[in-house]
């Protein structure tokens, strides 16, 4: 909470106990009903859906692609100017841009529209001369370990780094991010971006839960999101990437509990930093270790093959936990783009605008939506995981129980943390 003081201007009410109980019970029942009765053969092995050749032509035409890339690129450019020349105050739009619009916003955008982040990635535009803006190949190619490391770096900035919402700190991390991607591309070629850019790797994984896919020939497909995810040939070390993302959300929720705040508030300087760093690394390790344990009974299926099932959990939890922040602070950030350099400008006539807050009159609806989002993510995750797991040819329930139990632990854990407030 303290590192980003001022960005997250409010917290949601803790989830009511009955809702947490109902959500947990629902997750448990669906999980074991699926494992024991409903799902005995893999159904989503192959990509299949409705081919949309006409939409493909529109989306892939330069008339669509170029304006989209340039518009998004301009937003990033303004954010970069605000970062370089703006005022070191919380009303500098770059803070909300990074921590709210990009970090939180990429989840719903990828869920709804698929691989948009890859297409509008500003670093790809910057590195256009290396062929970075070409359409992706059909092979996922390469380990995602570099992206997992970069994501851990971002989570450290967001959740641990003191003064993460001040310009000098953010400048340092932004420079490191650009250098990490650009240097890698110059050495390894443009395939490095998909493997190492934290935001693109995160967005691309979430995009597999969208209803949009491509055939081998590049034609757009409208598909069942579960099939889209389960038919993915996941890249190497996807399990590590997912553990980092899920561990980060776990630590974020944990560090907001009154228990954690009370335990660490008296730790001065270094000790507090050490506790937070250890907490973040511990959360990531715990998630990764539990998942590895759950996948051990399967012969011929490693954690990476089974990791797609974790992505809906990550997306569901991100939406539940940060959805209201995207709603309120997302609006405020957009307004602040009217005066990006803190010069008293009003470029878009929105500098004095008041955000819509009507949603917050319905706390019960918000709580129900949060529980439903987490449970829906869980159910989707379980269906995909189990579908992949059945490809091992294992029919014995005992083999599947450990992994399903781990998934239930993740979901009930997530609900409990949001209940703890």
Partner 1 sequence: MQQGGNRSRFDRDMMRTLGLLLLPLLLLAGCGSPDAAPVTVDLTVTDPPAATRTVDVPLGATVTLRITTPTDDRVHVHGYEIEADLPAGVATDVTFDASMAGTYEVESHVTDAVWLDLVVR
List of residues contacting partner 1 (CB under 8 A): 6, 9-13, 43, 48-50, 223-224, 226-227, 324, 328, 357, 360-366, 368-369, 372, 375-376, 421
Of the two residues 304 and 339, which places its CB atom closer to partner 1 in the complex?
A: 339
Q: Is the Cβ–Cβ distance between 81 and 93 less than 8 Å?
A: no
CA 384 remoteness from chain centre: 18
Q: Min. distance of Cβ 175 from partner 1 in angstroms? A: 28
Q: Min. distance of Cβ 118 from partner 1 in angstroms? A: 25
The three-state secondary structure class of 51 is strand
Of the two residues 121 and 373, which places its CB atom closer to partner 1 in the complex?
A: 373
Q: Min. distance of Cβ 397 from partner 1 in angstroms? A: 23
Of the two residues 151 and 418, which places its CB atom closer to partner 1 in the complex?
A: 418
Of the two residues 110 and 121, which places its CB atom closer to partner 1 in the complex?
A: 110
Q: Min. distance of Cβ 138 from partner 1 in angstroms? A: 20
Q: Min. distance of Cβ 360 from partner 1 in angstroms? A: 3
Q: In the chain, how long is the greatest CA-to-CA distance?
A: 67
Q: Min. distance of Cβ 386 from partner 1 in angstroms? A: 14
Reduced 3-state DSSP string for 326-359: HHHHHHHHHHHCCCCCCCCCCCCCCCCCCCCCHH
Q: Min. distance of Cβ 342 from partner 1 in angstroms? A: 16
Angular region, 387: left φ>0, alpha ψ -120 to 50, beta rest: alpha
Cβ neighbours of residue 406 under 8 Å, at least 6 residues apart? 290, 291, 293, 294
User: How many Å apart are CA 356 and CA 403, to the nearest integer?
Assistant: 42
Nearest-10 crossing angle of helices 397-420, 363-389:
160
Q: Min. distance of Cβ 233 from partner 1 in angstroms? A: 19
DSSP secondary structure of 142-155: S-SHHHHHHHHHHH
Of the two residues 195 and 332, which places its CB atom closer to partner 1 in the complex?
A: 332
Cβ neighbours of residue 336 under 8 Å, at least 6 residues apart? 91, 92, 93, 96, 351
**Buried-exposed string 26-57: b where 16+ CB fall within 10 A, e elsewhere:** bbbebbbebbeeebeebebeebebeeeeeebe
Of the two residues 132 and 366, which places its CB atom closer to partner 1 in the complex?
A: 366
Which of 196, 127, 159, 135 has its CA nearest to residue 5? 159
Of the two residues 243 and 318, which places its CB atom closer to partner 1 in the complex?
A: 318
Residue 149 CB neighbours (<10 A):
15
Q: Min. distance of Cβ 361 from partner 1 in angstroms? A: 5
Of the two residues 196 and 221, which places its CB atom closer to partner 1 in the complex?
A: 221
Cβ neighbours of residue 59 under 8 Å, at least 6 residues apart? 65, 220
Q: Is the Cβ–Cβ distance between 121 and 200 less than 8 Å?
A: yes
Cβ neighbours of residue 332 under 8 Å, at least 6 residues apart? 9, 96, 355
Of the two residues 295 and 370, which places its CB atom closer to partner 1 in the complex?
A: 370
Of the two residues 159 and 241, which places its CB atom closer to partner 1 in the complex?
A: 159
| Rg over CA atoms, the chain | 21
Cβ-in-10-Å burial (0-12, 13-18, 19+) of 74 comes to exposed
Of the two residues 32 and 360, which places its CB atom closer to partner 1 in the complex?
A: 360
Which of 112, 128, 130 has its CA nearest to residue 66? 128
Q: Min. distance of Cβ 245 from partner 1 in angstroms? A: 22
Q: Is the Cβ–Cβ distance between 155 and 280 less than 8 Å?
A: yes
Q: Min. distance of Cβ 363 from partner 1 in angstroms? A: 4
């Amino acid at each position: 909470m303290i590192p980003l003081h001022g960005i997250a201007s409010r917290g949601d009410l803790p989830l009511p106990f009955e809702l947490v109980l109902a959500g947990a019970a629902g997750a448990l029942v669906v999980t074991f009903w699926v494992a024991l009765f409903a799902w005995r053969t893999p159904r989503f092995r192959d990509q299949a859906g409705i081919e949309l050749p006409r939409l493909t032509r529109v989306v892939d035409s330069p008339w669509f692609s170029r304006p989209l890339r340039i518009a998004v690129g301009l937003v990033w450019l303004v954010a970069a100017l605000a970062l370089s020349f703006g005022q070191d105050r919380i009303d500098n739009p770059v803070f909300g841009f990074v921590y709210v619009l990009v970090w939180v916003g990429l989840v719903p955008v990828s869920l709804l529209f698929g691989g948009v982040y890859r297409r509008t990635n500003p670093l790809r535009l910057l590195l256009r001369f290396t062929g970075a803006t070409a359409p992706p190949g059909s092979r996922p190619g390469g380990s995602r370990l570099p992206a997992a490391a970069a994501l851990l770096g971002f989570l450290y900035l967001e959740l641990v780094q003191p003064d993460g919402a001040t310009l000098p700190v953010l400048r340092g991390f932004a420079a490191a991010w650009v250098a990490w991607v650009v240097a890698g591309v110059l050495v390894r070629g443009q395939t490095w971006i998909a493997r190492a850019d934290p935001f693109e790797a995160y967005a691309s994984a979430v995009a597999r839960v969208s209803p949009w896919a491509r055939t081998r020939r590049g034609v757009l497909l409208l598909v069942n999101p579960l099939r889209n995810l389960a038919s993915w040939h996941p890249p190497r070390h996807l399990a590590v990437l997912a553990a980092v993302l899920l561990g980060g959300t776990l630590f974020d929720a944990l560090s907001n509990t009154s228990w954690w705040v009370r335990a660490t508030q008296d730790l001065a300087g270094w000790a507090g930093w050490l506790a937070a760093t250890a907490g973040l690394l511990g959360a990531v390790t715990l998630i990764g270790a539990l998942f590895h344990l759950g996948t051990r009974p399967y012969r011929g299926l490693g954690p990476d093959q089974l990791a797609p099932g974790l992505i809906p959990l990550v997306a569901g939890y991100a939406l539940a936990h940060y959805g209201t922040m995207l709603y309120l602070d997302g609006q405020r950030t957009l307004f602040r783009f009217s005066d990006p350099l803190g010069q008293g400008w009003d470029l878009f006539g929105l500098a004095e605008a008041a955000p819509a807050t009507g949603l917050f009159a319905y706390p019960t609806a918000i709580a129900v939506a949060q529980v439903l989002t987490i449970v829906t993510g869980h159910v989707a995750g379980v269906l995909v995981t189990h579908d992949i797991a059945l490809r091992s040819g294992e029919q014995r329930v005992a083999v599947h129980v450990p992994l399903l139990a781990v998934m239930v632990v993740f979901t009930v854990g997530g609900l409990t943390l949001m209940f703890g407030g």
